[in-house]
Structure 1
Amino acid sequence: MHDFPIHSLDSAPEASRGLLAEIETRWGFLPKLHAALAESPAALRAYEALFSLAEQTGFTPAERQVVFLTVSTFHGCGYCTAAHTFLARQAGLDEGELQALRSGRPLTGRRLESLRRFTLAVVRDRGDPGSQEVEAFLSAGFDEANVLDLLVIIAAKTISNYANHIVGTPMEEFMADPALAWSAA
């Protein structure tokens, strides 16, 4: 595997430094994913813009984490699954639902299960889930804006999942918690 740099504020390309500094201030540390993406200022800006826009969608914080975890486990991304397990707990996602998401099992709540199923259909079928899947999602209480909002979250997670695979992003210190560890079986 090629050895990609994991940048610091000092080693990052000049065009990435300002955004990296903002990210470090916001998170309280510089996530290694962002430090890796910094090699391409465009990739860093794209990911950060999409991740920020995900918070502006019509989904609750817990619903966003359902999407993030569904995409991350589908793509087999251990880094993102660990990170979003941590964030899902902060968002108040029920531990049973969280463990079901991490293992690819159905969720017990109708709305969240509909969201998980539709997300999985969109990702699995490369954006063409079929009209039955769309109608099932809408009948679970979601609307057309939610269908399109979902694409923002999927795009953000696809960038990070793929980058982590290609770069081999090292895990963060907080991810040493065995309760966060995850690998595709």
Structure 2
Amino acid sequence: MTKFNVPVRGEVSENNQAIFDNLKKGLGFVPNLYAYFAKNDTALGDYLALQNRKSTLKAKEREVVNLVTSQVNGCRYCQSAHTVLGKMNGFTDEQVLEIRSGVASFDTKVDALAKLTKAIVENKGKVSDQIKTNFFEAGYTEVNLIDVVIVIGDKIISNYIHNLTQFEIDFPIAPEL
């Protein structure tokens, strides 16, 4: 098996070193996923720009999309990271697990978002009219739909990177479903 190594600060470009410094200042550490992106001179900055773009979705809603997408794609790294972030955004352990399964019985709006996200990822965007109708009836708009797809795309990038490389998970490991 090929072993993929996560670079340290001294092994990345000067531009990426500055990003590492900002991440360390803001988060207290540089997550391995971000460090791995830094092997490429522009990927880390590009990825962070995508991840930090202005969105019509609240942080809590983005975590729903992140959790569901990471579960469908089987990415243990992102399941673990977003379990931590989901709890930081107000979800309980039980709610995080339920969201990862693609439902949220505790909140109809979150449920519609989780079901839509799961259907989009599993079916490559081909989603039933009923799931879309439920999403819109829950109070979401077409503008929100665009943002859901952008967040899914962001998460697919990181899911695929980790699924390909399997570098060390530097978050508490999320429980299996």
Q: How far is the alpha carbon of 1:130 from its aligned partner? A: 4.1
Distance 1:68 1:79 in 2: 12
Q: Which residue of 1 aligns with 2:108?
A: 110
Cα RMSD after superposing both structures: 1.8
Q: Check conservation: 1:5, 1:39, Cα contact below 8 A.
A: no
Residue among 174, 182, 185 paired with 2:175: 182
Q: What TM-score, normalized to structure 2? A: 0.90
Distance 1:4 1:13 in 2: 18
Alignment of 1:1-185 (within 5 A): 1-53=1-53, 56-102=54-100, 104=101, 106-108=103-105, 109-172=107-170, 174-175=171-172, 180-183=173-176
1:65 partner amino acid = E
Aligned residues, how many? 176
Identity among equivalent positions (%) equals 28
Distance 1:37 1:83 in 2: 16
Distance 2:94 2:135 in 1: 22
Distance 1:41 1:182, change over 3 A: farther
Q: Check conservation: 2:24, 2:30, Cα contact below 8 A.
A: yes
Q: What SS class does the counterpart of residue 10 from structure 1 fall into?
A: helix
Give per-residue Cα distances to partners, 1:122-167, cap 9 Å, x unaligned. 1111123244332221111101110001122111111111111112
The answer to which of 140-149 and 2-11 deviates more is 2-11
Distance 1:41 1:22 in 2: 16
Distance 1:37 1:105 in 2: 28
Q: Check conservation: 2:64, 2:99, Cα contact below 8 A.
A: yes
Gaps of 5+ in 1: none
Q: How far is the alpha carbon of 1:62 from its aligned partner? A: 1.8
Q: Check conservation: 1:50, 1:155, Cα contact below 8 A.
A: no
Q: Check conservation: 2:120, 2:127, Cα contact below 8 A.
A: yes
Q: Check conservation: 1:69, 1:84, Cα contact below 8 A.
A: yes
Q: How far is the alpha carbon of 1:46 from its aligned partner? A: 2.6
